């Protein structure tokens, strides 16, 4: 409901014919606007003391429909039509017996006493008028995020979610690679300790769930070798070739597991800055749209809107930089794991070849 303020017409408000002088309607509208703000708990003097500024009219449009006369009892209304980034648009009417006499649409901007324009009021559904008046100097990250447009806020929320998922993937991969390295080193130490291949295979079969990649590769090669022997295949080349193919297949499966989440980190590293840039471009476009009706634009007017938009770019970089560092680190570590396992395949193949040459029936020693 619009705010209503009663005004009685006196001699001082009229011309010689008893008709209200046209310029006096501006006074009526100003009184109604002041009382409207006061009813919301925002006094002009209080606003001046707290923020060092006040609202000034930068644009006004009036339409006179009928004149008001001496002794008329008018109702002057005030209603917030739009709260832009750097302006307030207030619609006011002068009514006589519910009949519109004058219509006004006025745009206000907050100014500091030194002539510096302040940040515009923002809409707030919890406030009775739908607005809240903020200090332009409140440039904290939280305030900038809350004041951004819904598209920019959606981009920020997306980037924040991606960042959390990225960090979770980083820590998961970090612990997984440490475990792979430890298990491979333990098995390799047992392998070169002189234990027979049959004993190592039996241990790998019993410990299949907790075995490392290298131990599973070894087990797959031994398993294929024994299956071929059970078919009474005695050709060394066939036995060796079968074991190598089995180990290669197992190696690919193990590397697929080790490389999991790496593509996600790569996508985050490459896409996040562009998503943040999209949010920034949209925010800047939205900010400049709010300045379209302003006759004078200062740095103090532009800064809050630009700062809000740039938060999206900052979040995009915040998501991308750790992902880039982690991707490069993990890619290097995974290459080392892959080279280590390929080297083991070649060494184990050489051992099988020597044993098959010396004892065609049993690869028990190395």
List residues with catalytic annotation: 15
Q: Both tokens of residue 227?
A: 């299956």
Query: In 3D, which of 20, 104, 32, 6 has the Cα closest to residue 68?
Result: 20
Write the Ramachandran bin of 196: left for phi over 0, alpha for psi from -120 to 50, otherwise beta.
Answer: beta
Distance CA 33, CA 36 (A): 5
Quote the crossing angle between the two packed helices 299-358 and 262-290, to the nearest 10°: 170
Distance CA 305, CA 321 (A): 25
Query: What's the distance, CA 194 to chain centroid?
Result: 56
Q: Both tokens of residue 62?
A: 């009036």
Beta-bridge partners for 93: 77, 103
H helices within the chain, ranges in order? 24-39, 44-51, 141-147, 150-191, 197-206, 213-230, 236-258, 262-290, 299-358
Query: What is the secondary structure of 227-284 as a DSSP string?
Result: HHHHTT---HHHHHHHHHHHHHHHHHHHHHHHTTTHHHHHHHHHHHHHHHHHHHHHHH
The sign of the CA dihedral 22, 23, 29, 32 is negative
């Amino acid at each position: 409901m619009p705010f209503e303020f009663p005004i009685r017409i006196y001699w001082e408000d009229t011309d010689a014919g008893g008709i209200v002088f046209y310029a006096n309607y501006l006074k009526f509208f100003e009184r109604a606007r002041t009382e409207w703000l006061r009813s919301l708990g925002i006094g002009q003097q209080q606003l001046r003391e707290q923020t060092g500024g006040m609202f000034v009219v930068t644009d006004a449009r009036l339409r006179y429909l009928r004149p008001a006369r001496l002794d008329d009892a008018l109702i002057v209304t005030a209603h917030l039509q739009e709260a832009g980034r750097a302006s307030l648009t207030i619609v006011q009417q002068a009514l006589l017996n519910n009949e519109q006499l004058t219509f006004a649409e006025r745009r206000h901007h907050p100014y500091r006493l030194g002539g510096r324009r302040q940040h515009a009021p923002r809409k707030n559904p919890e406030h009775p008028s739908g607005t809240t008046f903020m200090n332009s100097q409140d440039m904290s990250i939280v305030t900038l995020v809350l004041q951004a447009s819904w598209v920019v806020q959606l981009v920020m929320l997306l980037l924040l979610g991606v960042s959390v998922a990225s960090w979770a993937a980083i820590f998961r991969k970090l612990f997984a690679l440490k475990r792979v390295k430890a298990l491979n080193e333990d098995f390799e130490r047992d392998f070169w300790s002189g234990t027979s291949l049959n004993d190592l295979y039996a241990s790998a079969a019993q410990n299949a769930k907790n075995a490392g990649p290298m131990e599973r590769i070894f087990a797959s090669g031994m398993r294929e070798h024994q299956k071929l022997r059970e078919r009474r295949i005695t050709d060394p080349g066939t036995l060796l070739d079968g074991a190598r193919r089995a180990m290669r297949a197992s190696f690919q499966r193990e590397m697929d597991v080790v490389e999991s989440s790496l593509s996600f980190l790569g996508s985050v590293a490459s896409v996040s800055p562009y998503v943040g840039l999209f949010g920034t471009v949209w925010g800047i476009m939205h900010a400049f749209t709010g300045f379209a009706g302003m006759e004078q634009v200062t740095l103090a007017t532009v800064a809050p809107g630009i700062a809000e938009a740039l938060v999206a770019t900052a979040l995009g970089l915040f998501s991308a930089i750790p992902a880039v560092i982690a991707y490069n680190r993990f890619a290097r570590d995974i290459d080392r794991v892959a080279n280590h396992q390929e080297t083991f395949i070649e060494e184990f193949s050489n051992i099988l070849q020597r044993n098959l040459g010396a004892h065609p029936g049993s690869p028990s020693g190395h």
